[in-house]
């Protein structure tokens, strides 16, 4: 069953790493009150957790992350499709935010069913809106965050009101070319809208990103990093960069 306690140290370590990754990607939208809205302490809890302050352990971080309506439903869907017991397993969380082979096992019909059953309600989509969006989805949809932002569109009413949401909320990547205090400058290809579809542009631009050392302790020029809500979230391996680039669609 999903949410069962890990049965060995390796599983426990994967779940703890997954909770940390989920907190990293969720911290910035939580501060804007776009995610984890059921608990007003969510932003501070995640900040304290990432800063490793006493009193906020993995169990407490998990408790508030379960309130991230959209992300948690995707985690559960990916975990179920891959027979992974805990939906905060690092492999599952990475699949949603960055992309990996687990996404190949998630069926498009199950994604559509999730949207219609889980993303309808107060402050989410109306039934009519959800049905209309699902009817227009392409055949090759995937359970990735960039699909949720760029193809489906934000589920919550608050998020839909944010200007430039697709650029801020999508996960993109770039190469670090300059470091200054709590900022890094990256060279990246921006996400653009062309012929009614989002894609990576062909021309690299420089983009300044916020850098929190509690999230990514060390960065050097030449590192490939991904970012979400203008915040560096993770240094990427070559494989992770390739996966993320593939899922910017």
- How many H helices and E strands in the chain? 11, 7
Backbone angles phi, psi at 217, to 5 degrees: -60, -40
Residue 59: CB atoms within 10 A of its CB come to 8
CA-based nearest residue to 77, from 114, 116, 25: 114
Is residue 108 within 8 A of residue 141, CB to CB? The reply is: yes
pTM of the model: 0.93
The DSSP string of 70-127 is HHHHHHHHHHHHTT-S-TT-HHHHHHHHT--GGGGGS-HHHHHHHHHHHSBSTTSB-H
Contact 244, 171 (CB under 8 A): yes
Q: What is the pLDDT of residue 1?
A: 42
pLDDT tens series, the chain, 249 aa: 444 555 688 999 999 999 999 999 999 888 877 776 666 788 899 999 999 988 889 999 999 999 998 999 999 999 999 999 999 999 999 999 999 999 999 999 999 999 999 999 878 899 999 999 999 999 999 999 999 999 998 887 777 777 678 889 999 999 999 999 899 999 999 999 888 888 899 999 999 999 999 999 999 999 999 999 999 999 999 999 999 999 997
Q: What is the C-alpha separation between 168 and 171, in angstroms, rounded?
A: 8
The pLDDT of residue 32 is 76
Q: Hey, what domains does the chain have and what are their CATH numbers?
A: 171-246 (2.30.30.140)
């Amino acid at each position: 069953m999903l949410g069962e306690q890990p049965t060995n140290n390796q599983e426990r370590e994967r779940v703890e790493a997954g909770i940390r990754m989920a907190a990293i990607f969720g911290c910035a939208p939580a501060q804007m009150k776009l995610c984890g809205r059921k608990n007003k302490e969510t932003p501070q809890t995640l900040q304290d957790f990432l800063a490793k302050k006493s009193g906020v352990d993995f169990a407490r971080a998990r408790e508030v992350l379960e309130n991230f309506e959209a992300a948690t439903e995707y985690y559960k869907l990916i975990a179920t499709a891959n027979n992974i017991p805990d939906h905060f397993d690092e492999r599952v969380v990475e699949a949603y935010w960055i992309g990996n082979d687990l996404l190949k096992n998630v069926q498009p019909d199950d994604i559509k069913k999730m949207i219609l059953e889980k993303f309808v309600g107060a402050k989410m989509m109306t039934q009519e809106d959800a049905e209309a969006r699902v009817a227009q989805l392409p055949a090759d949809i995937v359970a990735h965050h960039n699909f949720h932002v760029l193809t489906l569109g934000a589920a919550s009413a608050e998020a839909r009101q944010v200007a430039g949401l697709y650029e801020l909320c999508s996960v993109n990547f770039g190469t670090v070319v300059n470091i200054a205090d709590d900022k890094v400058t990256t060279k990246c290809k921006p996400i653009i809208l062309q012929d009614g579809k989002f894609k990576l542009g062909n021309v690299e631009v420089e983009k300044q990103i916020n850098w929190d050392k509690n999230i990514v302790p060390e960065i050097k020029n030449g590192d490939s990093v991904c970012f979400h809500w203008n915040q560096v979230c993770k240094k990427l391996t070559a494989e992770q960069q390739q996966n993320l680039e593939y899922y910017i669609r």
